[in-house]
């Protein structure tokens, strides 16, 4: 039974590990993109004009109401189509978008909606007095953001962001449905060709679980680091 997990070709261990690596790569990319969108989105929601706020509200509401699986298909086809049409209209050749880039874009766009809400909530939680103090000391908008709002909001945002990381690592499995060879698809291939369904799915589940447990430990450490300056709540 276990020789099927060997790292070299007759065994599928190498394929699974490669899949895990792809999963982590997509997750990391999508998470970073999501936080970038979320940061911009939160600023837009808090400081933007009515039209920008309205657009962002539609974005976060729609993305959070439609199943990820549907979004992945929609964004994947719409995204690649849009890019190619744009390229063609400027006279360039059509391009094939790599699975990795498309996966990162699609999941990142979905994550962005959730990150926007998390970061907006965290920014609102920064005590008004601290921001007023920054204004009073003559800090300009960007400086205030960099020196006061962002560092003060991180402890509030961390639990939500940690949750989003755990969600995105698991959501990468959905990309198997569109055919990206990450861990879930690699497992499916391994299971299908060896007929050892139970064993391979259990192994995949254990790999995902390991990622989750390690991430949780890391986030506990990070949170402790960022909370060191906060007054303990009674």
Partner 1 sequence: MQWYWLADYAPDFIEGLWITIKLLVLSIFFGMIMAIPIGLVQVTGPRPLAILARVFCTVIRGTPLLIQLWLIYYGLGSIFPFIPGVRESFLWPILREAFPYAVFAFSISVAGYDGEIMRGAFQGVPKGELEAARAFGMRGFTLLRRVWLPRALQDVFPVLAGEFVLTLKATPLAATITVFDVYGVGGMVRQETYRIYEPLLVVAGIYIVLTGIIVVFFRWMENRIPSTSAHRR
Position of tokens 């959905």? 174
52 or 166: CB nearest partner 1: 166
Map residues 119-158 to x or -, x wherever contact with partner 1 holds by CB under 8 A: ----------------------------------------
Map residues 65-94 to x or -, x wherever contact with partner 1 holds by CB under 8 A: xxxxxxx-xx--xx--x-------------
Dist. CA 186–CA 192, nearest whole Å: 10
DSSP 8-class letter at 12: S
18 or 188: CB nearest partner 1: 188
Dist. CA 150–CA 105, nearest whole Å: 25
Instruction: Using CB under 8 A, pick the residue from 51, 195, 228, 231 that binds partner 1.
Output: 195
Reading the block at residue 203, the tokens are 């192994």
Buried residues in 25-60 as b, exposed as e (16+ CB within 10 A):
ebbebbbebbbebbbbbbbbbeebeeeeeeebeebb
Number of residues that bind partner 1 (CB under 8 A): 36
Stretch that binds partner 1, among 32-40, 43-51, 188-196, 217-225 (CB under 8 A): 188-196
Contact 102, 80 (CB under 8 A): yes
Question: What is the smallest separation between the CB atom of 17 and partner 1, expressed in angstroms?
Answer: 16
Position of tokens 């065994």? 11
The residues binding partner 1 (CB under 8 A) are 62, 65-71, 73-74, 77-78, 81, 166, 170-174, 176-177, 184, 187-188, 191, 195, 197-198, 201-202, 204-205, 208-209, 212-213
């Amino acid at each position: 039974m276990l020789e099927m997990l060997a790292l070299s070709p007759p065994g599928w261990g190498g394929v699974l590990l490669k899949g895990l690596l792809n999963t982590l790569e997509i997750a990391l990319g999508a998470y970073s993109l999501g936080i970038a969108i979320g940061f911009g989105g939160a600023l837009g929601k808090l400081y933007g004009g009515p039209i920008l706020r309205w657009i962002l509200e539609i974005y976060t509401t729609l993305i959070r109401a439609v199943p990820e699986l549907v979004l992945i298909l929609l964004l994947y086809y719409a995204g690649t189509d849009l890019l190619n049409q744009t390229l063609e209209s400027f006279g360039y050749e059509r391009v094939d978008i790599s699975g990795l880039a498309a996966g990162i874009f699609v999941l990142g766009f979905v994550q962005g909606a959730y990150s926007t809400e998390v970061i907006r909530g965290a920014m609102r939680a920064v005590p008004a007095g601290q921001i007023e103090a920054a204004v009073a000391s003559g800090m300009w908008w960007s400086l205030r953001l960099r020196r006061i709002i962002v560092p003060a909001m991180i402890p509030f945002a961390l639990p939500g962001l940690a949750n989003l990381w755990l969600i995105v690592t698991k959501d990468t499995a959905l990309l198997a449905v569109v055919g990206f060879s990450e861990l879930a698809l690699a497992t499916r291939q391994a299971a299908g060709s060896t007929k050892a369904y139970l064993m391979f799915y259990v192994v995949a589940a254990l790999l995902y679980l390991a990622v989750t447990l390690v991430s949780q430990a890391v986030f506990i450490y990070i949170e402790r680091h960022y909370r060191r300056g906060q007054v303990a709540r009674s």
